[in-house]
Each structure stands twice: as C-alpha cells, then as structure tokens.
Structure 1
Amino acid sequence: MRNPAPLIAQHLDYLRVQRRLADRTLAMYGDAFVRLQAFCEKEQLELAALKPHHVRGWIARLHAQGLGPRSLAITLAAWRGLFKWLGREGLAPLNPADGIKPPKAPKPLPKALSVDQAVTLAEHRPQDPVATAGSAAAATRAEREAPWLAARDRAMIELLYSSGLRSAELLGLDVVSGPQAAGWIDLPGGEAHVLGKGHNRRTVPVGTAALRALRNWRDVRASLVAPVAPALFISRQGRRLTAAQLRNRLKQLAQEAGLPTHVHPHMLRHSFASHLLQSSGDLRAVQELLGHAHISTTQVYTKLDFQHLAKVYDAAHPRARRKS
C-alpha cells in the first residue's frame, strides 16, 4: 500500500503557497487529512482507490464519534479539494467526496430579551458622563454631549424595539422623505418607511413611546447639524451613524443597565417579533412587519413563544411543579 502522507503534504504546500489559505484554515484541513490518512491506513486503501461509499461511511463514523456538522463540513471540503487536486495531477480517477453532504446543523434559536429586560433597556438613562470623565476637557465635552447622546440613543432603542427594524434599516433613515431617501419617519402618521433586504420597501407602525422619543431627538438634532444633513441618526462628527458604532453603543448601554446578556441591534428585532407573537399569536402579521419573504423564516419565533409558554406552565401549573 502506498503511503498517502507525501501526497497530502504536497497538497498542503499547494494550499499554502498557491492558494494562500489562512493558517487557521490550513490547520483545520490538516486535521481533516490526518483523519483521512488514518482511515486509509486502517483499511489498507490507497487514495486513488477510494469510492464514495468509503467517504460516506467514514463521515457517518466521525459523526457517530461526536464530530459536529460544521467540523464534518470542513472535513468534506478538505477531502473534496484534495481529490480535485489529485485528479488534475492525474493521480486519482474520480473524486469520491463529490456530492456527499454533511448532516445539517441545527439552527440556533434567535436570542431575545424578556419584556422586562427590553423595557429596562429602553428606559435606561446613561451613566453621568461628567463623573466618569478623566480630565477637565473630557468632562466639558461629556457635559456638552450628554443630552443629545441620551436623546439619540433613546430614540434608536425605542424604534428598534417598537418596529422590529434591522440595523441597516434604522441607520438608513433620513430626516425627510423623497425619492433619494432610503427611509424616513412619518411622525404624524406614526409610521416608518424603510428599505429592507432585496431593496424591498415596507411600512411599519411606530409605537407611542418611540414617536415621543423620535420627536425629542428631532428637536435636539436640529441644533446640532445643518438642515441639509440627511441622516436621522448621526455620530459625534455629524455623519451618519455606522453599524459598528450602533453595536458598540448598544452593548455599552445594556451593560450600564445591568442586563445579564450581550445585547446587539438584531436582538431587539428578535424581541419585537417574539413579544408581538406572544401577545397576538398572529404569525402572518409578524411576517409582514418583519419583511420576511417566506413564512418559514418567521416560524422560528413560534419556538421562542413555546419556550415562553413552557416556562409559564412550569412556574404556574400545580401539576408541573416538582416536589422538592
């Protein structure tokens, strides 16, 4: 039997030099090749003699041993690439890994805040920036920025939770409507007009608390930037707020509010959908409000809703309580 190690080492050199794969990818591929070599040696098979049933059986064996779907997908990708390279070199008549798929990984449920946590975050007031400033100059700037930052952050959080917007939809909002605007807020009508995925426009209602926060922010914002500046939500520099700035700010505010979990903008969208479904039970309405093209995308929130109901049952039903 021909030792597969030299061919595998040669292929890894090709991946490193010609394909310029990252070190982490090379390490994962190297682990995959170690498994392949072990199988070949155990069953006394050469690489050129492998057939699809060999690969399928080995993947099943690795899965039974506890290797997860993601690791199996990486293993198959590495093997598939090896045999493709061997074929180009005239060293293998077929690619036995072609068409073989790893088991599907279970999709994790979206993480949502509880109603109390969402309200706590929305009503949180930032820590006194003057007290935490490190110098007199920093304290002066913090004192100047505190009111408008609080107004902006309150409006963003209320709108994310009130209307289930994606971060890109929120940050794309302009002050005024028009053909060039990606989105805008109709304060008198209580609606947000946004540009979602696939350049699909949709209109969603805005709650009373969010409208109140938005009116306050619009008043504060008018004193900060020129009227021609289009972005509704701006940074300290007066430019449109970026996704990274939004994530960092939300993370900081959640920590200040004492929430026990990392909070990101999409978590408020998940919370909006989950809480609305718990209250209404109307899956189609939630689909429309979220802008999902397929109902199957929205159905994941029914699982969150069931988890909520299960907790209520365990806590309240006399026959569900376990004896201590």
Structure 2
Amino acid sequence: MRFIEFFTANIRNPNTRKAYARATVDFLSWCETRGVTALPAIQPIHIAAWIEELGESLAAPTVKLRLAALRHLFDWLVVGQVMPVNPAQAVRGPKYSAKKGRTPVLSPEEARQLLASIPTDTISGQRDRALIALMTYSFARVSAAVNMKVRDVYTQNRRLWVRLHEKGGKLHELPCHHTLEAYLHDYIEAGGFGDDGRGPLFRTVARGTGQLSQAPLARQDVHTMIRRRAAAAGIETAIGCHTFRATGITAYLKNGGTLEKAAHIANHSSTKTTQLYDRRSDDISLDEIERILI
C-alpha cells in the first residue's frame, strides 16, 4: 500500500506520475531478471549498474530523471518503514550541464509558413491553427493548452485573454497577440461551443462525422498533429510540441524583448530556465561560419 500511495497520494502531477512509474517499472524489471526479487535486497550497486546501462542508450537528463524517481520512491518507502535505508541516495548520476536547450526551433518565416499552410475549411484545421498559435504567441506548454476550458478564453479591457493551468496548479493569465485572438475567435465560432464554458477548448474530432466531440485532445494527439502539419508545410525540422514555446521566446527576444519579461510570459520562476529557450546565438554562429570563404 505504501508503494501504491507514492504514485497516487504523493504525486499529483500526472506527467510526473507517468515518468516516475515508467522509471520504476523499468528498474524493477531489470532487478527481477538478475534475481533481485525483494525491495530490501536492493543495494546501491544494483542501482549504479542500472544507471550505467541506461547511460549507453539514453541522454544524461533522462538518466538523471530516472535516478530521481528511484530516490523519491525509496525515500517514501523508508519513511513508511518498508525499507531500512534508501539505496539510491549514494548513487551519483551522470554529469550534465546545458546553457542552451536542444528543442528544435523554427524561424519566424517557417512558423508563419506552417500557420498559413493549415487549411481552415474544416473544424480540425481551425483547431490546429489556433492551438499552434496559442503555444507560439503565449509560450504555453502543451499540457497547459490541452487542459484549457472554453471559459479560459475571455474578454478583459476589450482584449481577448487566455488563462493557462500551469504546473503545480498555478494559473497564468495573459492577453492575446492579435493574430492569436483572431485564430481563437474563428475556431470557437466555427465550433459553436462558445456557451459551453466548462467544456474543453481543444477537442477531438468524432470519427466519421468531421465534428468536434466532447473529449479533450491528448498531448500525444497534439504531437502527432504537429508532425503531420509540419510535413504538409514542407518543414524538414523534426519539431515537437515544445518547439513553439522556444520559437516564440526566441522571436520575442530578437525583437527587443527582455529576458525578465520573457520569463514572466513563459511563467518561469528563473530567467536561467528561459535562457535555455533563447536560440539567438544560432544565427550568430551561422553568420560566423559563413565567413569561411573557401
């Protein structure tokens, strides 16, 4: 019961719960194949060997996340007197330091090309254009976007605003860029759900009908949609949901925005996190490389 409580009562964020559960299942399966079949039998050497194997196929941040999952789990079990000590506490993860994120970023021209390429003669096209624009112009995380209700788009001071449900239960409210405002208006009007305040904003399309359902889009659906729309627009970069957050932040900073304001819009607690999305140096590097005139 203590083990189950860790994933239910202790962890509230569903994304964290999935990541920690995936790491735990992977480690316990690894232990089982090596004859370690009881929790008290797990030793630091087992965790160290598992981490070493993970490092051969996974990136350092992923390995560190999985080690953190075990540390938190075993801490919880130690407090509950299920295990005598935390075997993961003494294990060191791989060193990792990054000043720039690895998220693929689109140029402003590519972002406009993608938005313009989405056909708007269907409700799914209206939805996809509004969703991509939301993540680009408000720096919204995909999880915050898909969790939005219709009532989270509202008018204030004669301007459309959005209310994002961010990590940790935080609410983040922002005015809409004029382009985003137009796309959201078009989508909500075409969907005909403006009075359904408690309903999901971004909905799936019911199979065989071409009409919106009452079910919200899942993050995986958004990722698949983005890849499909990018391929149709002729964009070769392997983009994902986070691409638009990084694209928006970089474009904002290129046009004179400050790092502090960018952090506020992105709802980052530290500007150090925002700096990971700042890809202005990519252009500088490319310009310098082109100086090699051979």
Q: TM-score, normalised by structure 2?
A: 0.64
Partner of 2:163: helix, strand, or coil? strand
Cα-to-partner distance string for 1:46-103 (whole Å, 9 max, x where unaligned): xxxxxxxxxxxxxxxxxxxxxx9689989x99xxxxxxxxxxxxxxxxxxx9746355
Mapped partners of 2:133, 2:127: distance in 1: 10
CA gap 1:323/1:311 in 2 versus in 1, 3 angstroms: closer
Matches within 5 A, 1:281-296: 281-296=257-272
Structure 2 residue runs of 5 or longer lacking an equivalent are 1-30, 40-45, 54-58, 69-87, 207-212
Q: Percent identity?
A: 18
Mapped partners of 1:284, 1:162: distance in 2: 17
1:162 equivalent in structure 2: 137
Mapped partners of 1:71, 1:199: distance in 2: 24
**Paired residues of 1:233 and 1:241 also in contact (CA < 8 A):** yes
Greater percentage in helix: 1
Matched, 1:122 2:91: no
Q: 1:269 aligns with which of 226, 232, 245?
A: 245
Give the deviation of 1:271 after TM superposition.
0.7
Partner of 2:172: helix, strand, or coil? strand
**Paired residues of 2:188 and 2:194 also in contact (CA < 8 A):** no
CA gap 1:295/1:12 in 2 versus in 1, 3 angstroms: same
2:205 equivalent in structure 1: 236
Structure 1 residue runs of 5 or longer lacking an equivalent are 1-9, 20-25, 34-67, 78-96, 127-144, 177-182, 316-320
Give the deviation of 1:313 after TM superposition.
4.6
Give the deviation of 1:228 after TM superposition.
6.3
Matches within 5 A, 1:164-203: 164-176=139-151, 183-186=152-155, 188-203=158-173
**Paired residues of 1:191 and 1:204 also in contact (CA < 8 A):** yes
Matched, 1:14 2:14: no
Mapped partners of 2:136, 2:263: distance in 1: 16
Give the deviation of 1:255 after TM superposition.
1.0
CA gap 1:216/1:290 in 2 versus in 1, 3 angstroms: same
Mapped partners of 2:61, 2:244: distance in 1: 28
CA gap 1:210/1:264 in 2 versus in 1, 3 angstroms: same
**Paired residues of 1:186 and 1:193 also in contact (CA < 8 A):** no
Matched, 1:215 2:185: yes
Partner of 2:110: helix, strand, or coil? helix
Q: TM-score, normalised by structure 1?
A: 0.59
Give the deviation of 1:31 after TM superposition.
11
Task: Kindly name which structure, 1 or 2, has the bigger radius of gyration based on alpha carbons.
Answer: 1
Q: What RMSD, in angstroms, separates the aligned Cα atoms of the two structures?
A: 3.9
Cα-to-partner distance string for 1:223-259 (whole Å, 9 max, x where unaligned): x798466111111131222212111111111111111
Give the deviation of 1:220 after TM superposition.
0.7
CA gap 1:125/1:71 in 2 versus in 1, 3 angstroms: closer
Cα-to-partner distance string for 1:111-135 (whole Å, 9 max, x where unaligned): 2111111111111134xxxxxxxxx
**Paired residues of 2:250 and 2:280 also in contact (CA < 8 A):** yes
Matched, 1:104 2:95: yes
Partner of 1:14: helix, strand, or coil? coil
Mapped partners of 2:186, 2:50: distance in 1: 58
**Paired residues of 1:192 and 1:205 also in contact (CA < 8 A):** yes
Cα-to-partner distance string for 1:126-173 (whole Å, 9 max, x where unaligned): 4xxxxxxxxxxxxxxxxxx95111111111111111111111211122
CA gap 1:207/1:105 in 2 versus in 1, 3 angstroms: same
CA gap 1:72/1:119 in 2 versus in 1, 3 angstroms: closer
